[in-house]
A and B are shown apart, each in its own frame.
Chain A
């Protein structure tokens, strides 16, 4: 039975080889998908009111997540644009930015 399940999965997988998947990008999109699911569940079971923070307009958790992702993209681009080294530092800065956004925005 497990063999047939594995076969089914690899068959589905072979349909997507044209997308040129790598495990790195799979983790990236997996992270976003998981975050969206968690945010949806939170919105259903722990509803919230938008609050006004340092951005000057009311934000919900979803808004703060979006700003975090957008900011992270810009942080990475600026890091590369100004000739920064390893991208792990940019990722670290993005993490700090995200925490700041979720606390203060």
Chain B
């Protein structure tokens, strides 16, 4: 085996990425922090405002605070609903997929297709697809005698947004679970057959524990993406009807760019960001701990 030289100059290769992150993330982030503590009358004139914006956003009895907490609850319920459907559905479909033979390729390609479509295109497709008058989906549901209108009925709007996300991103869970299932050595299944284990026992005692790692990754990715959802509700419902599908990101854009209320928007986005960072860190810690336990 060739000895690998240890040379810290390799870190210099990371510099381009650091420079990129500086301009794409760090400088904007610092600017948001600066905005969150000041008030502006436009024309780049800023006045120190202390913690007043944060006190507004964190007080549910103010207008902005009520909006923030409502949107936060909406975000969390949406993420929860999407995960609750996508993860079991993804595992179930992955279990049904063929493990070998000619059908593997076509199946995987077909399943991966929705993931290749950009968010705004998905939104546009569904905006037309779900229309109550001419959309195939909306008109068909109405034709069955079930009243459905995603621009007027909050429940219908919510169901539409959740279905869009399930349609778009269950494939990710399927592919991750499928990869996890393929990695289980056949010896485990042989042992199960010798013990005459039921299908359910095989699933609970062999497949699910082996899937733990990929499922943590799937839940992390899906949670992050659903928690920052913007394009689909923006295109399909525009945050409505009323504010039924106004998620945090949509409300932020309304406050920052619609009302040019930079201070409140900055304070709100920092709290939003803090929640995201915390959840990322929790998932990351769980993942690295699982790794370490496996190595031990």
Contact = CB atoms under 8 A, between A and B. Distances in A.
A11 B27 CA distance: 18
A66 B46 CA distance: 31
Nearest to A29: B30
A43 to B, nearest CB: 12
B48 A22 contact: yes
Interface centre among A18, A66, A74, A81 (most CB of B within 10 A): A81
Given A22-B34, A24-B37, 8 more contacts: A17-B44, A20-B34, A25-B37, A29-B33, A70-B277, A73-B274, A77-B58, A80-B58
A57 B31 contact: no
B55 to A, nearest CB: 6
Nearest to A86: B51
Interface in A65-99: 66, 70, 73-74, 77, 80-81, 83, 87
A2 interface: no
B230 interface: no
Contact of A66 (B44, B48, B58, B281): B281
B271 interface: yes
Given A70-B281, A73-B274, A20 B48 contact: no
Contact of A81 (B35, B40, B58): B58
Contacts of B78: none
A45 interface: no
B278 interface: yes
B160 interface: no
B30 A25 contact: yes
Interface in B1-43: 27, 30-31, 33-35, 37-38, 40
A20 B274 contact: no
B44 A22 contact: no
B278 A77 contact: no
A20 B35 contact: yes
Contacts of A58: 292
Contacts of B27: 19
B285 A18 contact: no
B58 to A, nearest CB: 4
B51 A80 contact: yes
A81 B55 CA distance: 7
B8 to A, nearest CB: 9
Nearest to B36: A25
A17 B31 CA distance: 10
A25 B33 contact: yes
